Chains A and B, each alone.
Chain A
Amino acid sequence: MSAAEATAEPQGGALNDWLRERISHALSEFTAATALVVLFIALSFASPYFLTADNLFNIGAQTAVIAIIATAQTMVIITRGIDLSVGSVAALAGVAGAMVVRDLGFPLLAATAVAIGVGALAGLLNGLLVTVARIPPFIATLGTMSVGRGLVFIMTGAVGVYGLPRSFQLLGNGEIIGIPFAVVITAVVAVGVAFLLSQTRFGQYTYAMGSNLEAARRSGIGVGRHLTYVYVLAGVLVGLGGMIAASRVNSGQPNYGISLELDVIAAAVIGGASLFGGQGRIVGTIIGAFLIALVRNGAVLLDISIHYQQVIVGLIIWAAVYFDQYRRRRLESRG
């Protein structure tokens, strides 16, 4: 290394570096996209129902919820955290949204605001547990997961919230010129968060904290406050996702989202987010969310039991994290 350094950088070397940098950045995204295309083609051949308009619409709506919540998860993972509470909080938000419609006659927009508010509060709780109480994110959000699930069962008496007007289905099953409304919302969320992460100071701090918390602190970044914001924003998105999920089934389901955290963590990691913090992009997460939704959808079409789906998602998580480790080691061994 030092011998190479002593000579002036030739143009070709710089170009090589630039290429390697680009490739290493996009490698996991490219791999995930390839897997997505291969799976899509395979499923088209494997099942006659796969390419029907109904099924594609269904995949779109299914992807939407995973993608929105995985986007939230990605932000948290970039800070070197993790949010295990997403499933419970999504259920809590969806049930709250459904209840205010049924019991208080809230219009859809106001109900959505309530769901988002519930998510934001849960996010604030997570953020304060991590920053003020200094509980590691894994444990803090594990607690929130349990508390949230308990609360939603208490609120509903473990019975789904039914008897909602048809208009409640707009978010989950509505469409704009043939495109699921949920997909449009997802696109707006994804573009917004991608912009936030890549173009703003907020994004810069998010990556910096995950990359080297001490460096961020010494640089004068208010890391506690900023980390809390990240959890709150993630909670907002989880609340929105929970509302869309409730809208899809036109009811508030207290047991919605059990083990959803696995799907969204898998989506984020497949897309290149690193559990060691500092890395992750929304483009990759969206691809990952699509992949997970396709696996779920394909398994249903091919009549593979839900139990095997669990096994498959677990295998995907192992593979993605192993790949991340491998990539990190290679990158670091250059230094």
Chain B
Amino acid sequence: MDAAPTTTVGTDQPAAGEPPVLEARGIVKRFGHVEALRGADFTVGKGEVVALIGDNGAGKSTLIKTLSGVHPPDEGEIRVGGRPVHFATPVDARRAGVETVYQDLAVADDLSVAANLYLGREILRSGPLGRLGLLDKRAMRQGAAAALAELGVRIPRVTTPIAMLSGGQRQCVAVARAIIWATNVVILDEPTAALGVVQTGRVLDVVRRARDAGMSVVLVSHNMPQVLEIADRVEVLRLGRRAARLRADEVTTDDLVAAMTGSTGAERDER
């Protein structure tokens, strides 16, 4: 935790010296007497998919919530693009370009796909009507359709209420929503946990497309083969600290499990 090197993140990183898109240093978070994070570090570079893994209780959820502004850290520092930031609320994190898709699918079932994509960021009519709060529904429909097409998300129509979509389609909409608005990082907390094989593939396709477009992605997952399939790098959390940083193409699922449980005895060093 002390003096975590920031320049040796990975070989496919942009020019050395360019700061990571999102970085957490020495994060401590206590809930009463329980120390959920004990000086955790975490790094995401531009355009990379970083998987965050760890055993139950390792602090993954807490770290994610810290990075997305739900739980402000007790100690430590979060940097976006090298600049220290303070996320007191999720809105602060979103303003800094960090969008999060939570496990419990934060979409409004009764609203249409388009309305969900623009929730809290509605396009209003121009002129005095807009100042009265009049929605420009056509612009939102068109914008939503274009954005979803770009990400390869297939849904019947953008005016369909979310409740009428399949689980996979819903998750794709939720992920797309985050990607559309994020300017720096998208954090996905177990995005495929409740999905079947085909639907999982759909969601991962969306993630790849976003990465290819230069977006940075943090993926929390328990699914080790999936992690190795989609991630560029893996950061392992154990007992509230970063236990290892691994390149996905150099390790096996056994290595990941060993790092998570600490069964190798020796902690893998970063690089």
Contact = CB atoms under 8 A, between A and B. Distances in A.
A201 B135 contact: yes
Contact of A5 (B119, B124, B161, B166): B166
A201 B108 CA distance: 15
Interface residues on B, range: 35 or more
Interface in B58-87: none
Contacts, number: 106
A212 B160 contact: no
A14 B157 contact: yes
Contact of B94 (A6, A208, A220): A220
A5 B198 contact: yes
A14 to B, nearest CB: 5
A334 B163 CA distance: 9
Contacts of A2: 166, 168, 196-199
B106 interface: yes
Given A17-B160, A17-B164, A219 B119 contact: yes
A215 B108 contact: yes
B261 interface: no
| Most A Cβ at <10 Å: residue of B90, B137, B164 | B164
Contacts of A18: 156-157
A310 interface: no
Contact of A207 (B110, B122, B137, B199): B110
A279 B110 contact: yes
A210 interface: yes
A211 interface: yes
Q: Interface centre among B110, B137, B164, by most A CB within 10 Å?
A: B110
Given A18-B157, A200-B135, A201-B135, A218 B163 contact: no
Nearest to B166: A1
Instruction: Classify the secondary structure of A's interface with B.
Output: helix
Contacts of B119: 204, 208, 215-216, 219, 221
B51 to A, nearest CB: 23
Contact of B163 (A8, A216, A221, A332): A332
A14 B107 CA distance: 22
Interface in B21-54: none
A204 B119 CA distance: 8
A335 B165 contact: yes
A1 B199 CA distance: 10
Nearest to B198: A2
Given A200-B135, A202-B133, A212-B108, A335 B122 contact: no
Contacts of A332: 163
A18 B156 CA distance: 9
B199 A278 contact: no
Contacts of B121: 219-220
Nearest to A331: B163
29 contacts: A2-B199, A3-B198, A5-B169, A5-B202, A9-B154, A9-B156, A14-B156, A17-B160, A18-B157, A21-B161, A200-B133, A200-B134, A204-B115, A210-B110, A211-B110, A215-B107, A216-B108, A218-B106, A219-B106, A220-B94, A220-B121, A278-B110, A278-B111, A331-B163, A332-B163, A334-B164, A335-B164, A335-B165, A335-B166
Interface of A: 1-3, 5-6, 8-9, 13-14, 17-18, 20-21, 199-202, 204, 207-208, 210-212, 214-216, 218-221, 277-279, 331-332, 334-335
